[in-house]
Structure 1
Amino acid sequence: MEWLVKEMMGAVEIGAVLACPVCGNEINGEMQCTFCNRKYSSREGVYILIDSETSGMEWKWDKRIISQKYRQEVMKGYQRLISPDIRKAHEKWWNITYPKIGNLSGNIVDLATGLGMMLEQVLKRSNNSSVIATDIDPNVLLSTKRDFEKKGMRKAFYLATDIKHMALREGVADNVTSFAGLNNITDTELVVAELYRIMKPGGKALLMASFFEEDTPSAELAEDYGFLDAYIKEKFFDLIGRTGFQLVEDREASSVIWKENEMDIFPIDGDKVYYHTIEIKK
């Protein structure tokens, strides 16, 4: 998709990929739905297609994240907070995932991009691809876009959209990636259904997901927050199958006893967390 590397998109290219998150119809060159006439916007190359009524009060990053200094403080601060054992478990997790990222090609949609940990690896390792970075919060996407441009990384297309109501047309993605994205969004069933909708037949999703055991304090808290289907392995894979996906591979990369920190709501201190790299196919 040549339009992904352009600073501005023409009406034809927009219509080929973007869709109104409310009614699902085409978006024209003026960032307006051709059916329901809802008007959307962009900011410094971040395209913002979110409807406040549909998406409600979804979680957003602190607006200070736009500051590159604050961004670095957040990233470095988190690494200081987590235990050495957790850092080692994360390292094993990524080492399992890196080669799989390099095998991706075509049109790749990165779910819940956030600070861009997965996106950075996709841009570095999947050279034969066009990449769409997505997040509910345009501020964090703008921060990530600025940071990656400063680093001289190749271009991606940045789309602020609610992953439960994605502003993408059906069947646009050859591949989907996500680093813990499904662990951070409520209503997992809606998210997985949208994931299925935007993928091409035969397309694959590469998901980094963490799980913990049922009947633990972590599971109880996850249920309170509406995340249980994303954090209990059996529930998650049951949902994947019911949606229509085929499981290609599930690898448990590492596991660790969680040590509480001030940035993560869960897992709960002392519970075991399991890190998986998962490939599924439509």
Structure 2
Amino acid sequence: MWNVDLGDVDAVIERALGEDLHGGDITSSATVPPALKVDARIVAKAPLTVCGLFVAGRVFTRLDGSVRFTARAAEGNRVKAGEELATIEGNARALLAGERTALNLLQQLSGVATLTAAFVDAASGKARICDTRKTTPGLRRLQRYAVRCGGGFNHRNDLGAGVLIKENHIRCAGGVEAAVRAARKRAPHPLRVECEVTDFAELDAALAAGAEVILLDNMDDERVAAAVKRVDRRAVVEVSGGITLERVPRLAAAGVDVISVGALTHSAPAVDISMLFGALPG
């Protein structure tokens, strides 16, 4: 587990279980003996990067503290279809009550980690792959953790964690130079001032005002390459907007430092994972 606040995790689990179990589990209550003990396996049904096993385990132990959940793969590991991710021993009703919540979280987080790993591979170590604040409300810390499991990096966590001047800030401030100078004057000294630019005129203005990070917004590959040369290492260069896997190798080769990808968290598909009961006693 890589630096995740368990209080945040437990709050997410409580809300998710509340959605699924506010009326109880009518089917299990009607069909499953209350004292029945079972063994179960969580299995990857497709190749994936593992993330969230400890979250799944906490779902089951929240419902029944006697459940034994054993991870069989490490967070961040890449596994093949058919590989066992975890084994579970415990009360059948508790496992059935937690199954959907545990798998929903595990599939979503592993999906983020898997997509991130694909972007990291495409960058070949030439540029840093970062997430954005385009996260699912309430799941930001877990999704950012999943990005790290996939080999990516986190951008600012919230609006207080960094200075990022965007289009509407520029309009309100009266231009790029005015916005950058105001930020440099008022921002805490440990924070670098980043400015989003959409053309070379804005780029030149941001550099002249002392921006330490330049965000190239929605520029095509040719303009990105030209912008990197124009910056000439006077600032960190980040690129964002319209980033696809196919573009990443070209952007990395152009010399950008950071490629930020909102899709890592807002569009990662859930991966296929299932929970299977073993043979029942008797």
Please confirm whether the aligned pair reaches a TM-score higher than 0.5, indicating the same fold: no
Which structure shows the bigger proportion of residues in helix conformation?
A: 2
Q: TM-score, normalised by structure 2?
A: 0.27
Q: TM-score, normalised by structure 1?
A: 0.27
Using CA pairs under 8 Å that are at least 6 residues apart, name the structure with larger relative contact order, 1 or 2: 2
Which structure shows the bigger proportion of residues in strand conformation?
A: 1
